[in-house]
Amino acid sequence: MKNLRLKAARAAMDLSQEALAQMVGVSRQTINAIEKGDYNPTIKLCLAICHALHKTLDELFWEE
C-alpha cells in the first residue's frame, strides 16, 4: 500500500527523497520504496523518519 502521508509530509517540509534519506541514514531508493509501498521499514527506521518530519507513528504509518 502506498504511503501517501509520508510523501505529503516530506513534500510539506520541502525535502527531496535524497534529503530525507540522508537525514535518516538510508538510501534514496529506500525512501522511494517505502513511499511506493514496496518496502516495510523497521520500527527504528519508522521512528527516525517520524523524528525527521516532526510527525508521530500514527500520522505516517498507521493504517486506518
DSSP element (H, E) containing 31: helix 28-36
Residue 64: is its pLDDT beyond 80? no
Q: What is the pLDDT of residues 19-29, one digit of tens each?
A: 999 999 999 99
What CA–CA distance (Å, rounded) separates 16 from 20? 6
Q: Which domains does the chain have, with CATH numbers?
A: 4-61 (1.10.260.40)
Task: Write down the pTM of the prediction.
Answer: 0.93
Q: Is the pLDDT of residue 7 over 80?
A: yes
pLDDT of residue 1: 84
